Amino acid sequence: MIAVDRGRYTCVLDGPDTRVTAMRARELGRKSVVVGDRVSLVGDTSGAPGALARIVRIAERRSVLRRTADDDETTAEGRLERVVVANADQLVIVTALADPPPRTGFVDRCLVAAYDADIEPLLCLTKADLAEPAAILDYYAELDLPYVLVRPDSDLGELRERLAGRVSVLVGHSGVGKSTLVNRLVPEADRAVGTVSAIGRGRHTSTSAVALPLPPASGDTDPGWIVDTPGVRSFGLAHVSAESLLHGFPDLVEGTVDCPPNCEHTAGEAECALDGWVAAGNADPRRLQSYRRLLASRAGETE
């Protein structure tokens, strides 16, 4: 399933050129159908104009990328867990090096979500013509986090290689150039492109997730798919346990070996070994601060 719009689901059969419009069958009950799901269809699957099939089964998902909605926790919708996409292989975290400046707190949240979903992260640094990447790369130096640099006129060959043969989800704050990047990768996508406001926050442009097949390059047998998602202000992690949260900070894991049993690793834990681990130069103090901020509040507030 590659897109959903007002209760109508767009599915592809036998490659991206055969598209079928479908609706949910009653027997699915309350099961959600999301972009990336593999589904079984009955009815008219010709793809002809006006044809409508029915989705009767959702195959078991091999990966599920989730985020918690950043709504007001006092409302009925607050802290609602949402599936972003199913069956993804890679999470491409798109962040600008300037205009707006990079927000490592958001990147940290995305890394936790990727590790929790058991999919690989890739850091995509846009607007590399405006600032150098040294500061943010230094922050993640201990993680061996793969990254690509993108400029307005740069060749996208390295990025395409990392996307080939995979289903990759692109996430990022509005204004970081994600929709521009999608349009460069898939020219016919025609994703809406916004501008950055005077206070350095991007305007929301994409309004719904959609899976797009990448055009084949020479020698490509499977160029892969990208899933463009709406620009988000935060990536809530209320659905992630405190123990799983640590998986997003592999540079801190070894430092917890000497912690007492049931240590919560918060700043208030007097015997937490992480402080000594960082003081000894084994990890960046900013990483510990970020981890503890996420521990204190995983409800998805804006960083």
Q: Is the pLDDT of residue 75 over 60?
A: no
CA gyration radius, the chain: 21
User: Mean pLDDT over residues 10-32, rounded?
Assistant: 88
User: Mean pLDDT over residues 231-253, rounded?
Assistant: 82
Q: Is the pLDDT of residue 244 over 60?
A: yes
Q: How many Å apart are CA 33 and CA 223, to the nearest integer?
A: 25
When pLDDT is cut at 50, 70 and 90, the band that residue 174 belongs to is confident
Q: Is the pLDDT of residue 243 over 90?
A: no
When the pLDDT of each residue in the chain is averaged and rounded to a whole number, the result is: 86
The predicted-structure confidence for 254-279, as pLDDT tens digits, reads as follows 999 999 998 989 888 889 999 999 99
Q: What is the pLDDT of residue 288?
A: 95
Q: Is the pLDDT of residue 216 over 70?
A: yes
Q: Is the pLDDT of residue 197 over 80?
A: no
Which residue in this structure is represented by tokens 């069956």?
87
When pLDDT is cut at 50, 70 and 90, the band that residue 17 belongs to is confident
Largest CA-CA distance found in the chain, in angstroms, rounded: 67
When pLDDT is cut at 50, 70 and 90, the band that residue 192 belongs to is low
The predicted-structure confidence for 106-148, as pLDDT tens digits, reads as follows 999 999 999 999 999 999 999 999 999 999 999 999 898 999 9
Q: How many Å apart are CA 189 and CA 185, to the nearest integer?
A: 9
Q: How many Å apart are CA 256 and CA 295, to the nearest integer?
A: 15
Which residue in this structure is represented by tokens 């521990």?
295
Q: Is the pLDDT of residue 78 over 60?
A: no
Q: How many CA atoms lie within 13 A of 142 on its CB side?
A: 17
When pLDDT is cut at 50, 70 and 90, the band that residue 76 belongs to is very low
Q: How many Å apart are CA 96 and CA 39, to the nearest integer?
A: 36
